[in-house]
Amino acid sequence: MSGKWDAKYSGMDFLYGTDANDFLVAHAALLPRAGRILSLGEGEGRNAVYLAGLGHRVVALDQSAVGLAKAERLAASRGVRIETCVADLADYAVAPGPWAGIVSIWCHVPSVIRRRLLGEVVRALEPGGVFLLESYRAAQIGRGGGGPADPDLTPSLADLCADLAGLDIVHGLETERPVAEGVGHRGLSAVVQVVARRH
Ligand SMILES: C[S@@+](CC[C@H](N)C(=O)[O-])C[C@H]1O[C@@H](n2cnc3c(N)ncnc32)[C@H](O)[C@@H]1O
């Protein structure tokens, strides 16, 4: 699958733009100020670079080396530093802590991987650590404007709450909202959002 994403990111432009995701911007203040942030499926770096600009230490993980190379260039152009990690979440284990925050923006993986991954997220966060997720829902399929076509990649809020058992759900919402991110994500979109904290 990394070949598919390498190809998508091979152009000069940024597929989802260079501005951070709106949901992340709205909730970033909930991330602890100290400690490292892990961004899953970071792509071309817009969200990691935003968080680094807020003063966070960010590790940007993606299967696409092409995307993360662009992320490093974006960080340099903004005068911030990020760490990058090329890895496939299918065989990557999120090591237990200490992560102050873990972020997952449009990182759609098969449910069997998601369940295992989010279990690792629960154990990897430090006490007080925060998980932020925005994802497309199954209702988005067929609309165009972004998101996967396979329903197995589109969790419901109930799925996510079950996967994140052990965390306090601070914000959990299935909604429709306008998304405008580069040419890759456009229009009124069916999304699910979660903010969860380890107590
Ligand atoms: C829709 S893009 C979103 C990119 C970025 N989070 C953003 O909002 O701009 C999904 C990203 O998830 C990554 N991804 C999907 N499955 C993955 C996996 N199994 N391991 C690592 N990255 C994965 C893709 O390579 C891609 O960069």
Expressed in angstroms and rounded, the spacing between residue 41 Cα and the centre of ligand 1 is 3
Expressed in angstroms and rounded, the spacing between residue 47 Cα and the centre of ligand 1 is 12
- Nearest alpha carbon, ligand 1 atom 3: 106
Expressed in angstroms and rounded, the spacing between residue 4 Cα and the centre of ligand 1 is 11
pLDDT of residue 2: 83
Class of domain 2-8+20-106+114-134: alpha beta
- Nearest alpha carbon, ligand 1 atom 27: 43
Half-sphere CA count of 28, side-chain side, radius 13 A: 21
Distances in whole angstroms, Cα of residue 102 to Cα of each of 6, 25, 76, 165, 189 = 23, 14, 22, 16, 23
pLDDT of residue 79: 98
Give dist(CA 102, CA 81) in Å, integer.
18
Q: Encode the chain (199 residues) as per-residue pLDDT tens digits.
A: 789 999 999 999 999 999 999 999 999 999 999 999 999 999 999 999 999 999 999 999 999 999 999 999 999 999 999 999 999 999 999 988 789 999 999 999 999 999 999 999 999 999 999 999 999 999 999 999 999 999 999 999 999 999 999 999 999 999 999 999 999 999 999 999 999 999 9
Q: What residues does ligand 1 touch, defined as CB less than 6 Å away?
A: 5, 16, 21, 41-43, 46-47, 62-64, 67, 88-90, 105-107, 109
Q: Is 130 helix (H, G, I), strand (E, B) or coil?
A: strand
